[in-house]
Structure 1
Amino acid sequence: MSRKYILIMVFAVVGLGSYFFLSGAPLPVDVTVAETGEIKAFIEERAKTSLPRIYRIAMPLDGRILPITVSEDQAVTKGQVVATMDTSDLDAEIAKAKYRVEQFAKKIIEQADNRLEDNSLMQFDEFLKSMDLTVEAASKQQEASKAKWQFSRDEFDRKYALYQKKALSESELNESDLFRKESEVDYQKDILTWRSLQAVQSAMQIGKISILKYKEKKELTEAVLQEERKEALSQLEQLLRDRKRATMRSPINGTILTKNYSNERTLPAGEILLEIGRLENLEVEADVLSQYVGNIQIGSLVDIEGPAIGTQPVQGKVKRIYPKGFTKISSLGVEQQRVKVIISFNQDIWKQLKQQNRDLGTDFRVRVKIYTEIKKDAIKVSRAALFRNGSGDWQAFLVRNNKTVLVDVEPGVMNDFDAEIRSGVKAGDQLIIAPSMNLAPGQYVKPNIIKNL
C-alpha cells in the first residue's frame, strides 16, 4: 500500500467523522459485547517435531559396506541386522591371528617342559654326592701319603747318620733312600689325584649351575612368549570385535528415519549409514524468545497445530526448558536471544492423527501455543476495543443509550485476540472496536455488533 493511498484513507476517515460529528447524525461503529468465559494468555511460536534420541548406525571401521536392504519408514526390532560389511579381509586376518596364538602356545609348552633338565640336575646331584666322598677319600689318601713320606724322610736321615758313623751298611742306606723316594712319588701322585678329583667336582658344579642358568633362561623366554601370546590374543580379540561390529544391528525397536547409502561401496570409519528412532517418543522443539520464557512453567498446557497436524490441533505439555539460551537470526535479519523449550505430546496423539489419516515424523514443521496463564469465568472483550491514553492508562469506549462513554479499565490476562477486564466493564457491555481518534465521549453512534472477531 503506497503512502499516498494511506494519506487519502486517513483524510477520508477524518472527514467522515467530522461530517457525522458536525451534522449530529449517529456515527456507525462496530462494537463487541463483553462476555463471561475462559481466557488464556499464550506464547505462539513456530516449532518442529523431534526425538529425544536418534540412534545412528555408523561404519565401525574402514571397509566395504554391502547393499543395505532396509528402507526409510521401515519398522525394525532390537537386534535385527540392518547393515553388513564385507568381512573377507577381516576373516583372513583373524585366521592369521589365530595361527600366531597357536604357535605361541606351542612354543610356551616347549619352553615349559623341563623334564630333561630336571633329570640332569638329579643326576648331577647324585654325581656330586659321590664326588664329594671320592674327593674326601683322596684328601685322606694324600694326607696318609704325606705322613708316609715324612716318615721315610726322617728314617733316611736317621740311617744316613748311622752310615756316617759306620754303624749301617751302604745297602741298608740305599734301601732307605729308595723307600724315601717311593714315598715321595706316592705322595705327589696322591696330591695330583686329589686335585684332579677337585677339578672334576668343580666342573660338575659348574655343569649343574649351567643347567640351572639354562632353566632360568627358558623361564625368561617363556615369560617373553607369554607376553607375545597376550599381545597376539589382544589382536585376535580386536579382530573378532571388529568382525562382530561388521554386522550392524538395530539397538532398539524403532523406525528407520534416514538411509544415507543403498549400494555397495567403500566407506571410512564413522560414516553414518542409518538413523533409527522411536516415533512413539516424538516431541516438539520450540525456540522461544528469552524475555517470554520466564512465564512458561514445566507442565504448561500447549496446543500444537499446523498442516502437518491436520485441521484439529493436538494437545501437549511443556516437558523441559533448557537452562541456556542462544542467539538466533530472525527471517528479517534481527539478532534474537532464544531458549529451547521441549514439549511432549499427550498420549492420545497417535489416535487423533489416525482419525485424521495422518502420519507424523521427525523434523515436521508445526506451530505451538504455550499457555502461560488460564483464567475461567472472566469478563473478556476483544483486544481491539482497548487502547492507551496519553498517560499510558488503558481505556475503552462503551456504547450506552447509543452514546459513547469513555471508561478507564483494568485489564488482566491478555492475548493477541482477547483481554480480561478486571474493572470498568461488566458482562453485556458494548465496546467500540478500534475507535477513531476523533471519537469523543457523549457522541451519538449507531452500533453494529460484530461477532467472532
Structure 2
Amino acid sequence: MSNPENPSGSAPWETKRVPTGKHLIRRLLPWVLGLGILALIGWGLTPKPIEIETGVVTRSPLTVRVSEEGKTRIRNRYIVAAPVAGKMRRVPLKPGDEVKAGETLLTAIEPMATPLLDPRARAQAEAVVSMKEAGRKQAVQTLEAQQATLKMSEADRDRIRAVQRAGTVSESDRDRAEGDASIKASQVRASEFALQVLDYELAQARAALERPDASTAGNLVEVKSPVSGRVLKVMQESEMVVTPGVQILEIGDPADLEFEAEILSRDAVTIHPGDAVSIEQWGGDPPLSGRVRRVEPAGFTKISALGVEEQRVIVLSDLIDPPPAAKALGDRFRVEVRVAVWHSDDVPVIPSGALFREGNAWKTFVYQDGKAKLVSIEAGHTDGRTTEILSGLSPGDEVLLHPPDTVKAGSSVTKRAEP
C-alpha cells in the first residue's frame, strides 16, 4: 500500500542525489566527440578550390612560322674528274686546303704501263708476228718479180726507140711499148708501198709482244683547279689507274653558303620566294636572318623516323648581312630553319596552353571570382606558343593555363602561389 507522504515510492532512507558538473561532462562528452567527428567528415567532404595557373589575353605582334631541320650547303660545287685514261698520281691536297683557279696543281695523269699477256694472248700475238713476217717475204718476192718485168719492158722500149729512128717501127707499136713500161713501173711502186705497209704491220705485231717503259716526256696531263675556293672532299686520294670521268675531288667556296630545308608539301605551298627566314641553332647566340630564294617545284618521298611516308619539298634560303661569327659555318652543317608565312603587328592573342578541343570547337576556361567559366572561342593563326583570338574573348581576360581534368564549368579554383 502506498504511502501518501512518500508519493515516489522510494525508501525513506534513500537520499536524492543532485547532479553535479562532473557528471554532466561525462554525459555530454560522447555527444561532443560524435559531433566533432561528423564536423570533420563534413569538412573533409567539402570540395576544395583547385589550384591553377592563369594567363591574360593581350594584344601583341604575331608571326606564324614553318619550322624544320635544315643544313647548310655550298651554292656552287665543282667536281673535278679525270679527263683521260691513265695512271693518276697521288693527290697531295686535303679537305680544307685552299686552291686557285688555273694555278693549283691537283694531280697529274701519266700513260699506263702495257698490260700483261696471258699464254693464249701471247701465242696469238706470236702467230700474228709469224704471219706478218711470211707476208713480208711474199711481198719481197713479188717486188723482185715486178722489178724484173719492169726491166724487160724498159729494154723493149729502148729497142723500139732505137729502131724507130730508122723508120721501121710504127707509132702504135712505139706507144704500146711506152705504155707497157709505164704500167710495169707503177706496179713496182705499188709493190714497194705494199712492202712498207707490211713492215709497219710487222712492227705493230712485234710491239704487242713487248712491254716498253711508259715515258712521261711530253706525255703527261696536269689537272689544275678550275675555280678558286677550298677542297671539300677528296674522292680518289691514292695513286691509281683511272678512266675518263672518274671523280677525283670536289671544290667549292665555303663563304658562298645557302640553307636547305626539306619542308612538308602541305607547308611548302604557303612559302614564297622573299619570305623572311630565321636561322637558329647554328652554333651562335643570335638567330641569323635570311630570305627564301627558291621553292623547288618537284617533291620527293621521305620515310620519317616512325616509318611514315612523307612528301617533302626542298626550300633554299640565302643569308642577309651575316655576322662575322657566321663565317665558321661550313658545308653540311645542321641548323634550324624557321620560315615566316604570316605576320600581323597587333592582334589579340591567348597562350596556346589555355585552349582545348571539345568536339570541333575551341574552348577555354575564364577565371572569374574564383570560378572557372567555360567559354567557346574562334581561334585564328598560331605560332605554337600564342594563338590569335577572332571572337569570344577580349584583351585583359584571365584564362586558365593547362587546366587539369578535374576542372569543370563552375568549379572553384584558386591561383597557385608563385614561388
Is TM > 0.5 for Structure 1 vs Structure 2?
Answer: yes
Say if 2:322 is the partner of 1:349: yes
Say if 2:241 is the partner of 1:267: yes
- 1:267-287 Cα deviation digits (max 9, x unpaired): 322333221112222112111
**Structure with higher helix content:** 1
Question: CA, structure 1 residues 407+212, in 2 after alignment: closer, same or farther (shift >3 Å)?
Answer: farther
Amino acid in structure 1 at the alignment position of 2:232? L
Gap regions ≥5 residues in structure 2: 1-41, 114-160, 198-215
TM-score when scaled to structure 1? Answer: 0.58
Q: Is the 8 A contact 1:74 1:256 kept in 2?
A: yes
Deviates more, 1:366-375 or 1:204-213: 204-213
Amino acid in structure 1 at the alignment position of 2:242? P
Q: 1:309 aligns with which of 263, 268, 283?
A: 283
Say if 2:295 is the partner of 1:327: no
Aligned-pair CA distance for 1:370: 1.7
Say if 2:364 is the partner of 1:396: yes
3-state SS of paired residue (2:79): strand
Gap regions ≥5 residues in structure 1: 1-18, 91-130, 139-192, 225-239
Give the superposed CA RMSD: 3.8
3-state SS of paired residue (2:70): strand
Question: CA, structure 1 residues 296+20, in 2 after alignment: closer, same or farther (shift >3 Å)?
Answer: farther
Q: Is the 8 A contact 2:88 2:242 kept in 1?
A: no
3-state SS of paired residue (1:84): strand
Amino acid in structure 2 at the alignment position of 1:82? L
Aligned-pair CA distance for 1:373: 1.1
Q: Is the 8 A contact 2:87 2:111 kept in 1?
A: no
Question: What is the alpha-carbon distance in structure 2 between the residues aligned to residue 203 and residue 261 of structure 1?
Answer: 73
TM-score when scaled to structure 2? Answer: 0.63
Amino acid in structure 2 at the alignment position of 1:275? E
Q: 1:445 aligns with which of 409, 413, 419?
A: 413
Q: Is the 8 A contact 1:20 1:27 kept in 2?
A: no
Question: CA, structure 1 residues 342+416, in 2 after alignment: closer, same or farther (shift >3 Å)?
Answer: same
Question: What is the alpha-carbon distance in structure 1 between the residues aligned to residue 407 and residue 43 of structure 2?
Answer: 10
Q: 2:56 aligns with which of 23, 33, 51?
A: 33
Aligned-pair CA distance for 1:211: 11
Question: What is the alpha-carbon distance in structure 1 between the residues aligned to residue 365 and residue 331 of structure 2?
Answer: 49
Question: What is the alpha-carbon distance in structure 2 between the residues aligned to residue 272 and residue 325 of structure 1?
Answer: 28
Question: CA, structure 1 residues 208+377, in 2 after alignment: closer, same or farther (shift >3 Å)?
Answer: farther
Aligned-pair CA distance for 1:82: 3.4
Question: What is the alpha-carbon distance in structure 2 between the residues aligned to residue 441 and residue 287 of structure 1?
Answer: 44
Aligned-pair CA distance for 1:203: 3.6
3-state SS of paired residue (2:353): helix
2:228 corresponds to = 253
Question: What is the alpha-carbon distance in structure 2 between the residues aligned to residue 317 and residue 367 of structure 1?
Answer: 14
- 1:185-206 Cα deviation digits (max 9, x unpaired): xxxxxxxx4xx23235534773
- 1:300-354 Cα deviation digits (max 9, x unpaired): 2221122x432222122222222222111111222222222222222x2252425
1:361 corresponds to = 330
Say if 2:56 is the partner of 1:81: no
Aligned-pair CA distance for 1:414: 0.9
1:426 corresponds to = 394
3-state SS of paired residue (1:280): coil
Question: What is the alpha-carbon distance in structure 2 between the residues aligned to residue 343 and residue 333 of structure 1?
Answer: 28
1:374 corresponds to = 343
Q: 1:384 aligns with which of 344, 353, 358?
A: 353
Question: What is the alpha-carbon distance in structure 2 between the residues aligned to residue 449 and residue 197 of structure 1?
Answer: 145
Question: CA, structure 1 residues 22+340, in 2 after alignment: closer, same or farther (shift >3 Å)?
Answer: farther
